[in-house]
Amino acid sequence: MRPAGVTAIKAEQPSGQRPWQITWTPTFILLLGYLFTILTGRLPVGTLVMSLALASLLLQGRSLRVPPFLFLFLAWMMWALVGYAMTSYPAVVSDALTEHSKVFLVALVAVNALRTRTQIRYFVVFVLVAYILFPARSTLVNYLHGYTLFGRAVGPFIYGNPNDLAAHTILLLGPALALWASSGRGSRARVIGLGSAAILTVVIVLTQSRGAFLALGAMALPSTIALARRRPRAIVGLAAFVGLALYLAPASFWHRMQGLSKGTRFETIGEMDPEGSARQRFAVLQAASRIIRDHPVVGVGFGAYELVQYRYNPALGYLDTHNTYLNVLAETGVPGLLLFLGIVISVVRTVRRTRRRASRAFPADAEMLRWLEYALIGYLIAGVFGSFSKLAFLYVYLGLLWCAARMLETAAVTASTPPPPLARPDPTTTAPQRFPGWRGPLPQSR
């Protein structure tokens, strides 16, 4: 006898289609193509592909889904328009808002393309393979050939900054672990997930990013506690894996981690790293604090921070805040930061509510949601050391989380709904029946 949950998950597939087969819709295919371009930088056709994806939404024959976090995204943009009316750099803000409106459309395509369980899993596998074969592989090749930044691994394209590379890799580590945790033993998906997690962990360690190290710790603590409760034997394997990764870490990694102790005092901040990034970050923090104090409500304008910082401290040049939350606060004010946090919190609340509701009926899918959520939390922690609020992939990932939660919630509701009782015939309305050869009606029982 099959459990009700299996029937509910399979019910989302089109009629006559096997549960492991995927529905290749134009929107889904074009979303994969767009993700390949922004993750790898190999094909400069992102705008064209996304334009076709938006057009395909009109042809899919299904209702358009606009989750709450996208409404908050729109509210954030509306508030940024208020800042546009008051900024000293309208041209820069206008261009930044135009680009950010494209990010909204990308997220809209994502939440409408990922509708079934198989589409979500294929999406996770595709993104992992693309990231491993291109940015991660290039990073490892660079490191082996000595192309580093003060001994820290760097990658191609947008991954030239070790901290940004580590943060994006943490975000991809969640889907890898989710794929491993939600797949059956010996399955190809489980092998792909575990192998990807190992490679991504090596990349994170080689970047020597202190923010990524703190983010990994934040991810590891709750996941280890949860794993110890459900699968105590797995703790041994996890400890061995982490121990091996730390044992193979280069000496420069440990030297850089020791620099965290230098950040507790102003006099020793400059000794945290040889390249002086910590001292520079502290100077940027001081400038950002002054800017926020002078523009607390609407900010300096979306995308205008670097120009304003140069005006406050020309010696720093045109630098970013290297902090997602300070950047949002400086450019859109306190209301803008609250709306940005609301975007994230809205998705996280949906995910946690769905996990609690479906953990018994669908433990594997609930486990997938857990790891996806942990990766988002790690990424948000790494956001203290980098500015990620304008990156499209963050909102695609939020869309992935929302779609996975929506799929699982629908399956849980279907599984918990009892089937309607069989209708009994009404003896007063049932037509009389005759046996062959009998001349009278069949008596009805009372």
Task: Give the single-character DSSP code of 176.
Answer: H
Number of H helices, E strands in the chain: 17, 2
Kindly report, residue by residue over 21-68, the tens digit of the pLDDT.
678 999 999 999 999 999 988 888 989 999 999 999 988 888 999 999
pLDDT at 118: 92
Phi then psi for 184, rounded to 5 degrees? -70, 155
What sign for the dihedral angle of Cα 342, 344, 347, 351? negative
pTM of the model: 0.84
For residue 17, count other CB atoms closer than 10 A to its CB.
Answer: 13
Cα separation values, 17 from 11, 14, 427, Å: 10, 6, 41
Please tell me the distance from the alpha carbon of residue 236 to that of residue 222, in angstroms, as a whole number.
Answer: 16
How confident is residue 419, by pLDDT bands cut at 50, 70 and 90?
low
* 4: pLDDT strictly greater than 50: no
What sign for the dihedral angle of Cα 94, 97, 102, 105? negative
Kindly report, residue by residue over 149-204, the tens digit of the pLDDT.
888 899 988 899 898 999 999 999 999 989 988 888 888 888 899 899 989 988 99
How confident is residue 219, by pLDDT bands cut at 50, 70 and 90?
confident
* 96: pLDDT strictly greater than 60: yes
Tokens of 260: 């965290």
Question: Which has more pLDDT, 412 or 104?
Answer: 104
